[in-house]
Amino acid sequence: MTDRRALVGGLSLSIMILLLCSLLIARASAQLDTECKWRQNISDVEELAHHKYQVLEDCLFYKLSQDADREQGKGNALMMLPPTISSSDILTVDVLDVTVRQMWMNEVWKEMHVNGYMTMSWKDRRLRWDVSDWKTDTLNVKSYGRLWVPDINSDKHQTSMQASDYTTYQNINAKNTGNVTARLEFRMQAQCEIDFTKYPEDDKYCCFTLQSHLYPYYIKYFLAKGERNVDYKNMRTNWDITDVTVKVLPDPDDRKTQTLELCIASSRKSATLRIELTIPMVISAILVLVAPFFGRFQQQLYVKLFAILLQFLCFQYLADKTPQIGFGDTVPNIYKFYEFTLATTVISLLITLIVAAAARVDRKLPPAHRYTLLAAALNTNLCCAADNSDPTENKEGHGNYQRDWMQIHCAINNVLSLFIVIAYFIGVIILSV
């Protein structure tokens, strides 16, 4: 008897709980219906308070979600299923704007990191409603988790490097025509191709890839404003951005799918470093070029030897500024400039040394008079009549023969020095182009 009473009591309690839950659900539904019906009294949606407008948007989204569930035969269809039904349909995602806000480099690993966003638009036929009934033509979706969005991620989405890349949707807005606009925010990294030819103002070219992994054949991309519609004027970076483009390309692994490729070309801003590396070398080159104006061969040799010492010190300083990873197979122009200047200095030193050695040979016969006059004219016009001869008389009493030969050798040195100057300037111009 006691067990029967307990059973009856338990059943009664369960029935009461079910009735209470039913009443609460019915009341909530009635309250929701009541909140939805007051929209009929709205004449201008702009007169609504902010919280009232949010209630109206929630009510509209709830109604659209219910309609999508009935149409597609699945719960939460608006969140889980794409907007088309037929297997042959495709979804065109319009890329309206691309903005890059921040860029920084990891030069050791040759990696570029970027932050930015893309404004995208697509059609979702389930997000259509009567404006005259709901008094608004715009629906703000509070979270992209409540609505199906294209799964656009970086190409490293399925690898362990995903920790450094991410994409997320923000500011999702729907129009009563079914047009959905959202902002895809991204942070990505990519390996770069580096051209060290102009080091220390080397160029870097990096490309970032975005694509769909769940719907690779379903989603297609269209650049609404062209490949160069990228805003990077307010980008925060210490690099000089020379070009930014966005392209729609076929996937190299599957030609039926498409990828979005954002490419950034940049160069290092290092004007001060370039000055630090080039000015000492230029000074040493000037010393070599003006060495004939120092007079005697011995003085010229000392000047050129000092220039070579200065150049070796400059080259050591340049080596200390070399990136840790080196330059690979590329030889920067500044290294070519150093090599060319050092080679020119060594050649000039050897020429002066050989001419000076030839000038010390004791000759018994005088040079031809026309050679003497030509040498005097060249020395007067090229090196301000610099006289490199020994002022002492010849021991064997041959008059001024040795002085005349010295003038000729001085002229030879001056002419060869002029050719070296011309060749050096032509070489520098070629290297700077």
Domain count along the chain: 2
Q: Are 373 and 235 part of one and the same domain?
A: no
pLDDT confidence of residue 120: 95
The verdict on residue 21 lying in a domain is no
Residue 105 has pLDDT above 50, yes or no: yes
If asked whether residues 195 and 259 sit together in one domain, one would say yes
Q: How confident is the model at residue 347 (pLDDT cuts 50, 70, 90)?
A: very high
Q: Does residue 67 lie within any of the structural domains?
A: no
Does residue 405 lie in a domain region?
yes
Threshold 0.75, pTM exceeds: no
Same domain, 226 and 370: no
Residue 384 has pLDDT above 60, yes or no: no
Question: Of the candidates 225, 254, 269, which is a domain's last residue?
Answer: 269
On whether residue 4 sits in a domain, the answer given is no
pLDDT at 110 over 80: yes
Rg of the chain in Å (alpha carbons):
41
**What single DSSP character describes residue 311?**
H
Q: What's 366's DSSP letter?
A: P
Per-residue confidence band for 27, with pLDDT thresholds at 50, 70 and 90: very low
Do residues 264 and 343 share a domain? no
Pick from 127-131, 262-266, 372-376, 388-392: least confident: 388-392
Over residues 66-101, the pLDDT tens digits come to 889 888 888 888 888 888 767 678 899 999 999 999
State whether 338 and 411 are in the same domain.
yes
HSE (side-chain half, CA atoms, 13 Å) at 217: 5
Which of 149-158, 337-346, 349-358 is predicted least confidently? 149-158
Q: What number is the average pLDDT over the span 147-152?
A: 91
Q: How far apart are CA 295 and CA 78, in angstroms?
A: 92
CB atoms within 10 A of CB 143: 10
Residues 373 and 399 in one domain: yes
For 283, what's the count of Cα atoms within 13 Å in the CB-facing half-sphere? 12
Residue that terminates a domain, selected from 210, 238, 269: 269
Cβ-Cβ contacts under 8 Å for 181 (sequence gap 6 or more): 96, 119, 120, 121, 171, 172, 173, 174, 175
pLDDT at position 8 is 44
pLDDT at residue 352 greater than cutoff 60:
yes
* pLDDT tens digits along 158-190: 555 555 788 899 999 999 999 999 999 999 988
357: pLDDT strictly greater than 70: yes
In this structure, are 244 and 357 located in the same domain?
Answer: no
Question: DSSP label at 236?
Answer: B
Q: Quick one: what percent of the chain has pLDDT higher than 90?
A: 22
Are 353 and 390 within one domain? yes
Positive or negative: CA dihedral 317, 318, 323, 329: negative
For residues 332-358, average pLDDT? 90
Q: How far is CA 55 from CA 59, 60, 427, in A?
A: 6, 9, 76
Helix (H, G, I), strand (E, B) or coil at 17: helix
Last residue of a domain, one of 269, 290, 325: 269
Please determine, for residue 128, whether its predicted confidence score (pLDDT) is greater than 80: yes
- Residue that the structure tokens 């050092």 belong to: 342
Confidence of residue 23 (pLDDT cuts 50, 70, 90): very low
Identify whether the C-beta of residue 242 lies closer than 8 Å to the C-beta of residue 265.
yes
User: How many whole angstroms separate alpha carbon 99 and alpha carbon 77?
Assistant: 32
User: What whole-number distance in Å separates Cα of residue 292 and Cα of residue 343?
Assistant: 18
The answer, yes or no, to whether residue 22 has pLDDT greater than 80, is no
Q: Positive or negative, the Cα torsion across 318, 319, 325, 326? A: positive
CA distance 416 to 408: 12
In a domain, 17, yes or no: no
- 431 or 158, which is more confident: 431
Q: Are residues 205 and 250 in the same domain?
A: yes
Between 101 and 360, residue with greater pLDDT:
101
In angstroms, the CA 302 to CA 414 distance is 16
What band does 29 get if pLDDT is binned at 50, 70 and 90? very low
Token reading at 255: 């030609």
Same domain assignment for residues 125 and 211: yes
DSSP calls for 172-207: EEEETEEEEEEEEEEEEEEEEEEE-TTTTS-EEEEE
Can you give the CATH number for the domain in which 148 is found?
Answer: 2.70.170.10
pLDDT tens per residue across span 271-329: 788 888 888 888 888 888 888 878 788 888 888 999 999 888 988 888 888 877 778 78
Residue 320 lies in a domain: yes
| Pair 281, 253 in one domain | no
The domain in which residue 297 lies consists of 272-432
3-state secondary structure of 379: helix
Whether residue 281 sits in one domain with residue 417: yes
User: Which pLDDT value is given to residue 391?
Assistant: 46
Asked, for residue 29, whether it belongs to a domain, the answer is no
DSSP string, 244-275: EEEEEEEETTEEEEEEEEEEEEEEE--HHHHH
**Is residue 283 situated within a structural domain?**
yes
Chain mean pLDDT for the chain: 81
